[in-house]
Chains A and B, each alone.
Chain A
């Protein structure tokens, strides 16, 4: 169950990181930096959820 703490990572990215990412430049991948950062947050969320899903013993039950 300890693996579930990994979900704190995307939350910190979104709620704390935003304070440091609130810039229009540099433009990354054709996006203003703030929007690029949001994309990064989403990808981090997805990756963390995939890792949690994989290692959470709850998802092994009754397969």
Chain B
């Protein structure tokens, strides 16, 4: 009986809950405090909240699994972060400034305010929630996989997911973003240590880095470069562009931007966040080593865990499990909170019309539980489609980018109908490509085509409707 891993995993959950309660105690919880931390976070906390986006369960298992199963194309994961952070230097300060000026809480607030259109806000909220559910689901399924494997099958995956969802919903209801930031500190220390240890130990186990890659390259020529399965250089470029631009379009990432104390926080973080990506290398090394340690796995997501089980003692497997729990709780709680706030603040409130702040707050907290329940149902009823769903989510949120970019830097080039048309056309194309299972179109990532068409539609429709809206303004002024 392997009790050590289970004890360590549950110990981690208890510590995370204690941190949530402690961080909550001395703060009065208004909705602004609950979801944007009173806009008082400095460089380090914002760094950790945004870095929390990189080290998710999906990266932990998916990153190593991709290295194991796909090889060279995994390199895109290193590149897109650099593009996203570089972009953040220019993009985030104006977003933050506008949000502070108008006391905005969420992403749809931003679009609503910019275009003075409650329905645009509602559209953005709906697309955001739709994109969040599969993302959250992939985290939870990964978590279930970790707990099941780390407990050597003693805890079944669906039980693990169920426990995780309840813990997460409890956690979010109790503490809001303060709890997340503190758990992020704990999570980052644990995951950094664990990832570096296995990223060095596993390659050493198969004869060292140089020998390992030489052997893989000899066994599978072409595996360590771009080009396999149609994923060549054009695929790399379009995918890095798509995910780099979409990075901050996630409602929870956009919301995390509001927590900063000052806009310089983002510019400073743009220096250090790219370097933080380098830790991912160790995740890939572990995945590559698994090719030689445990070849021929059907479920590539299990590569890291199975390799670790073969090489390390039981208690260490428990630590990996604990780290895995934390990598799910930090992004998971951000996403759950974002979903709750989106539904309450940006769908419920504008439709009901005269809801009190108290009511909105209650709806937000109830919705956290509803979204958790929905995600749980999806998680236990689906299997391999998770990665497809996750990419669909990414393709969805990146459709906000053209409108957002123009609304900040060339407000006059985009009109309200243009914004609607662009987002709707982009989202429709993403749905079509996903339904017909086309992830590659003419060698480029299909989501990139949707983004491109979206951009053109925004510009064309805005140009066509601009005169109309100007006439309306003049006639309104005259009457």
Q: A: which residues have CB within 8 A of B?
A: 4, 7, 10-11, 14-15, 18-19, 22-25, 27, 30-32, 34-35, 38-39, 41-43, 45-46, 49-50, 52-53, 56, 58-59
Contacts and interface: CB of A to CB of B under 8 A. Distances in A.
B272 interface: yes
Contacts of A11: 83, 86
B236 interface: yes
B278 A42 contact: yes
B274 interface: yes
Interface in B185-230: 203, 208-210, 213-214, 217, 222-227
Bin the interface of chain B by size.
35 or more
10 contacts: A10-B86, A11-B86, A24-B213, A42-B277, A42-B278, A49-B86, A49-B89, A53-B89, A53-B267, A53-B271
B79 interface: yes
Contacts, number: 105
A50 B240 CA distance: 22
Most chain A CB within 10 A, of B82, B226, B275, is at B82
B388 interface: no
Q: Which 8 A/B pairs are nearest by Cβ-Cβ distance?
A: A30-B209, A24-B224, A38-B78, A32-B224, A45-B82, A45-B274, A49-B271, A46-B274
Contacts of B224: 24, 32, 34-35
Interface in B250-289: 264, 267-268, 270-272, 274-275, 277-278, 281, 284
A38 B75 contact: yes
Interface of B: 72, 75, 78-79, 81-83, 85-86, 89-90, 203, 208-210, 213-214, 217, 222-227, 233, 236-237, 240-241, 264, 267-268, 270-272, 274-275, 277-278, 281, 284
Is the contact region of chain B dominated by helix, strand, or loop, or is it mixed?
Answer: helix
A32 B74 CA distance: 12
A46 B237 contact: no
Contacts of A14: 79, 82-83, 240
B450 to A, nearest CB: 19
A42 B78 contact: yes
Nearest to A23: B225
Given A22-B227, A30-B213, A42-B278, A52 B89 contact: yes
Contacts of B272: 46
Contact of B225 (A10, A32, A39, A59): A32
A46 to B, nearest CB: 5
Contacts of A4: 90
